[in-house]
Structure formats: C-alpha cells, structure tokens
C-alpha cells in the first residue's frame, strides 16, 4: 500500500503500470499529469510486488462519505489468479462505501457485478457501488451519474482524462481531414497526411437508464474474450481418448483446421492399428491406450491437453492416472457426464459460466448437447420466472446421431421413419444437469427423430408477471449481445438450418394472451456446439488461444 508517490520504490514502474493497455492520444503525458495531480490529493494505492494489479482510491471527503475507486488496472494473470480478489478484499476492508465506473463492454463485467451491491448503465459506462444502504443516497448517486457519467468523479479519473485526450486528437484529425478536403487536388497529393497512430475514441453504446416495464437489461455481463484471450504463440499437444464416435470424428475435423493444436495420439480400442481418417496434417494411427500408458505419458509431460470422448462412467481411470502423475496441470476436457456435478471441475459453458473461470481451469466438464441448448434458452428469463413449484418445461427432439454409434432402436433409421420416439420421460441426466446449473427446477422430455444431427427445443416458461413478446426478445438480445455462437432471431429456428453449424439459434418468443407464459424455440447441432465445437472453445480459453480460433463463424 501507499498513500503518497514518495512511498513507491519505483515511480517509473508505476507510470508503466498506468500506461499499459490504456487507450488514447499521448497516454504517457496524460499519466504524467495524472501523477502530478496525486501530489495534491489524498489517496490510497493498493498493489502487489510485481504490479500485476494496481488500485488507487480517493478516500471519503467532508462532503461525501463515499470513497471513489479512481484507477484500477490488472494484467490478465491477475484477473485469472486470486490477486484481483485480494485487492478488492483490501478495498472492502478499508472503505465501507465505494463507487467506481467500468466500460460496458469490459470483459470482466461479471466480476465487478459480483463485488457490487448495485449498478446502473449509461452510454457505454456502468457505475458500480457497494455499502450504500440509504435509498435516498442511491437515488442521488444514480441521478448524478445519469447527468454526468464518469465525469461526476472529476479529473482524478484517469480513464476520463485519456478519453478526453483521444477525443481531442480525433477533433484535430477531423479538422485536418476537412482542411485537406478543401484543398486543390494537386495539393492533396503533395501534402503528407497526419499520423494515424492516435486512435479515436470508440463510439459508445447507449443503454436505457429507465427500465421499461422493469425488463430492460444491460449488455451481456459475460462478453466473449475473443482474441483478448490469446497470449500463447506456440502449439499445444493434444491426445484424444475415445475417438470412434460421431463427436470424436467431429472434433478431429476441427483439430485438423486449428492452427495451434497438434494432435499427437488418438485412442480407440475398436480401431487400434488403423489409420486415422480426416486428419491431414500428419499420419496418425489409432492406439489402444490404457490408463497405465496415459500415466506414463503424463509423467513425461508429453501432452498439454487430454480430451476424454468416452461413454459415461468410463473415463475415471484415465483421469485418475493423470491426477496421480507429476503433470496434474495438464488440461483435461471430459465430454461425458461423469464430472458435470463435481465441484472440483469447471463446467464449460462459456456463454453462461464466467469465461475467466474457464480460462484458469485445468479440469473442464463439457456440457451435454440437450443441456447446452436448454440453458441458453432459459437463462435470460430466470429472474422473471414464476416461483416454484411452477417450472419451465423443455420438449426436446434430437437427430439419431445423439443415440451414438452402438445399434439401438433410437438410431435405427427404419424404426424412426414416420416416427418419433420418446424416452427417459423423467429424470433424464440432462434434466438434472439443466436444473443444477440454472439453480431452477426444469422438466425435460427428450425424443429422437429420423434426421441425423441437430436438436430442436420448444421451451414453455411460466412468468411471474405479465410480459409481451417484445420484452422477452429484448432480454435475449441484450443477454447474448456480442456472442458469436448464439444467434437471437424473431422467427422460430429450424433444425435443417442448424445442422452442420457451430452455434445456437434462439427464436419464437411467443407469449400467451394472458401474458404469464412465454414459449421459446432453440436449435443446436448436437455434435458441434453441443459437443465438439464447445470442447474446442473451452480448449482455446484454457490454453490461452483466441476463444473462437479454429471455429468456422458465419
């Protein structure tokens, strides 16, 4: 901690910390002026030894009992470790009341929400606070933010200073461009252009402050990391255990196109000795790897990522072998249901689970196909559902690839023709998975149909208060804003349009005439976003590659 610049051992390191990852024109000069202003103000700074994290707080004044978090900067490793949480614990210990602002598209918005008691959005910014118990004090704070935005904190907010500098640079650039536009053509060709190294301020996304009918939401609280997650420039070695099934084949096809995954071993008892088809980057022969083989490979640190594509109840000996080796930090992604209810594993549904948590995990349980689509179809309405025992009901229909490759009535095309087969009408494992993850009882009724791949859900949702279709659709559009693998549409999505695609489509958004029941449709390819694509998305996040690397996007 420090309460004056003299208490910092290395002021130049402090400057470097404040400049990193900052937008704006001449950020170094702005930071210099910012530090000069701290010489005349009372402040408290919190940081770790390597300055992975730095927080600067203005204590309460005589006119306000509210402290202000004026500056917060963290490296990616600080966000993914416990450093960020430790810093905030210190803030809560020292300042009973605190307010701060964050950009609405900040990738760590969910983390800030968890630390706050309340928030409000305005023109691309979010004001957070904690410790304010008086409704009148909250109203005053919100009113000031609505009128002034982050400027309510004055010049001490570093981001405000950088933003203004960038805006000034853009005005200069625009003025110069206008001047150039008025010159004769010959002069334009001879004149040197202004430097474009200073980026203009980003346009803000406006968010409604007043909540129409109480249903308006802010933008996606868990936005994609995208290329921001990419901090690794060398390939990772992958082993696939259990590659005979449809999901294994779909994953092999994705790995074949991924620039940073080196598939080294593929194990299948039935196909051992045969050449792997569909992987063109090198020749691979199927092996029949035992848990002992896996243990030895793990001890030698031969593999960075193990993908378990085995039936339910089969992969534990392989996981145990890796856990017992000296390379426990290797990533394991399990495609079965074996670890979906294990609190020591991270549930890998990036659109609903905090992405930073997945990025720092080394044991990831890949969600089920039915469960992925159902959760995405229900989650935005969770705060608006009627109280239990009322519950959502999911009528799900899957293509027969979901029944696997082992012959059964559920993947017999002749039996399925002109037919629809219901099964596991209660207590299906995905019913438990959906309910467990959403914290809400959900009824799930699965069926299998004659098409090969793709799932269609019709979801009936009881509402706590009356809504209209427009309100419901807006909730979904806001919640999944920026998600590249979730498309929100007005019309009901069709299975034939999702087969072979890597995302989820949500639509329909019908509301009963009484206003107390909504119906939503969801489609997903059970082999892709329902399994292999989601696995690759989780691998990218956990291994430090861009989130959508290797995933075909439309």
Which of these is catalytic: 305, 315, 369, 535? 369
- pLDDT truncated to tens, each residue of the chain (554 aa)? 888 888 888 888 888 888 775 544 456 777 777 777 777 778 888 988 888 888 889 888 776 778 889 888 888 777 766 788 888 889 999 999 999 888 877 767 777 877 888 887 777 788 888 988 777 788 778 777 777 776 666 655 555 544 444 444 444 344 444 444 444 444 433 333 222 223 233 222 223 223 333 444 446 888 888 776 777 878 999 999 997 789 999 999 999 999 999 999 999 998 999 999 999 999 999 999 999 999 999 999 999 999 999 989 999 999 999 999 988 889 999 999 999 999 999 999 999 999 999 999 999 999 999 999 999 999 999 999 999 999 999 999 999 998 877 778 888 888 899 999 999 999 999 999 999 999 999 999 999 999 999 999 999 999 999 999 999 999 999 999 999 999 999 999 999 999 999 999 999 999 999 999 999 999 999 999 999 999 999 999 999 999 999 999 87
DSSP three-state, residue 46? strand
Tokens of 308: 């378990």
φ and ψ at residue 184, rounded to 5 degrees: -60, 155
Please tell me the distance from the alpha carbon of residue 266 to that of residue 462, in angstroms, as a whole number. Answer: 46
Q: Is 369 a catalytic residue?
A: yes
Which superfamily does 369-528 belong to?
A: Dihydrodipicolinate Reductase; domain 2 (3.30.360.10)
DSSP string computed for 131-143: S---HHHHHHHHH
Model pTM score: 0.64
Q: What tokens appear for 61 in the block?
A: 């004044």
Q: Which two tokens stand for residue 508?
A: 């329909």
* CATH number belonging to the domain at 227-368+533-543, selected among 3.40.50.720, 3.20.20.70, 3.90.1200.10, 1.20.120.80: 3.40.50.720
User: What is the location of CATH 3.30.360.10 in the chain?
Assistant: 369-528
The β-bridge partners of 457 are 396, 522
**What fold does the segment set 5-161 form as a domain?**
Aminopeptidase (3.40.630)
**Residue holding tokens 């400027």?**
151
Give φ, ψ of 129 to 5 degrees: -155, 160
CATH 3.40.50.720 in the chain, residues? 227-368+533-543
Kindly state the tokens that stand for 397.
């229909």
Q: Is 310 helix (H, G, I), strand (E, B) or coil?
A: coil
Residue among 266, 267, 316 nearest 288 (CA): 267
Distance CA 542, CA 150 (A): 34
């Amino acid at each position: 901690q420090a309460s004056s610049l003299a208490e910092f051992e290395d002021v130049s390191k402090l400057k470097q910390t404040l400049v990193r990852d900052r937008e704006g024109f001449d950020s170094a000069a702005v930071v210099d002026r910012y530090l000069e202003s701290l010489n005349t103000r009372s402040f408290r700074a919190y940081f770790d030894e390597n300055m992975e994290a730095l927080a600067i707080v203005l204590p309460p004044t005589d006119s306000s009992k509210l402290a202000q978090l004026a500056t917060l900067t963290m490296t990616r490793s600080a966000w993914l470790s416990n450093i960020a949480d430790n810093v905030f614990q210190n803030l809560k210990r020292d300042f009973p009341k605190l307010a701060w602002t964050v950009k609405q598209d900040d990738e760590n918005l969910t983390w800030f929400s968890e630390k706050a008691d309340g928030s409000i959005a305005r023109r691309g910014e979010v004001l957070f606070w904690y410790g304010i118990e008086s409704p009148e004090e909250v109203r005053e704070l919100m009113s000031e933010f609505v009128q002034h935005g982050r400027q309510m904190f004055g010049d001490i907010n570093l981001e405000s200073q950088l933003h203004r500098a960038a805006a000034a640079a853009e005005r200069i650039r625009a003025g110069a461009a206008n001047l150039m536009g008025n010159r004769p053509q010959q002069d334009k060709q001879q004149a040197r252009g202004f430097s474009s190294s200073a980026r203009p301020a980003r346009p803000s996304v406006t968010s409604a402050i007043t909540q129409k009918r109480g249903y308006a939401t802010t933008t996606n609280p868990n936005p994609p990391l995208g290329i921001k997650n990419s901090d690794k420039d060398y390939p990772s070695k992958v082993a696939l255990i259990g590659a005979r099934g449809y999901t294994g084949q779909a994953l092999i096809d994705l790995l074949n196109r991924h620039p940073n995954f080196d598939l080294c071993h593929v194990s299948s008892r039935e196909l051992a000795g045969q050449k792997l088809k569909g992987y063109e980057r090198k020749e691979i022969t199927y092996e029949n790897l035992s848990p002992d083989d896996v243990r030895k490979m793990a001890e030698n640190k031969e593999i960075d990522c193990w993908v378990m594509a085995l039936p339910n109840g089969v992969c534990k000996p392989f996981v145990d072998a890796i856990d017992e080796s000296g390379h426990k930090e290797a990533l394991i992604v399990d495609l079965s249901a074996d670890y979906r209810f294990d609190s020591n594993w991270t549930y890998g549904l990036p659109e609903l689970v905090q992405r930073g948590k997945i990025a720092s995990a080394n044991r990831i349980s890949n969600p089920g196909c039915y469960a992925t689509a159902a959760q995405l179809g229900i989650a935005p309405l969770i705060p608006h559902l009627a109280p239990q025992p009322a519950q959502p009901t999911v009528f799900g229909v899957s293509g027969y690839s979901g029944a696997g490759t082992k012959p059964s009535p559920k993947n017999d095309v002749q039996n399925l023709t002109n037919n629809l087969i219901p099964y596991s009408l209660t207590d299906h494992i995905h019913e438990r998975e959906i309910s467990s993850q959403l914290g809400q009882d959900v009824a799930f009724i699965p069926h299998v149909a004659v098409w090969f791949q793709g799932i269609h859900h019709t979801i009936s949702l009881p509402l706590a208060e009356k809504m209209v279709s427009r309100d419901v659709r807006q909730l979904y559009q806001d919640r999944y804003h920026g998600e590249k693998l979730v498309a929100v549409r007005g019309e009901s999505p069709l299975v034939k349009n999702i087969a072979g695609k890597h995302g989820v489509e949500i639509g329909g958004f019908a509301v009963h005439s009484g206003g107390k029941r909504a119906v939503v449709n969801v489609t997903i390819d059970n082999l892709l976003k329902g399994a292999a694509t989601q696995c690759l998305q989780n691998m990218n996040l956990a291994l430090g590659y861009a989130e959508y690397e290797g995933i075909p996007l439309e």
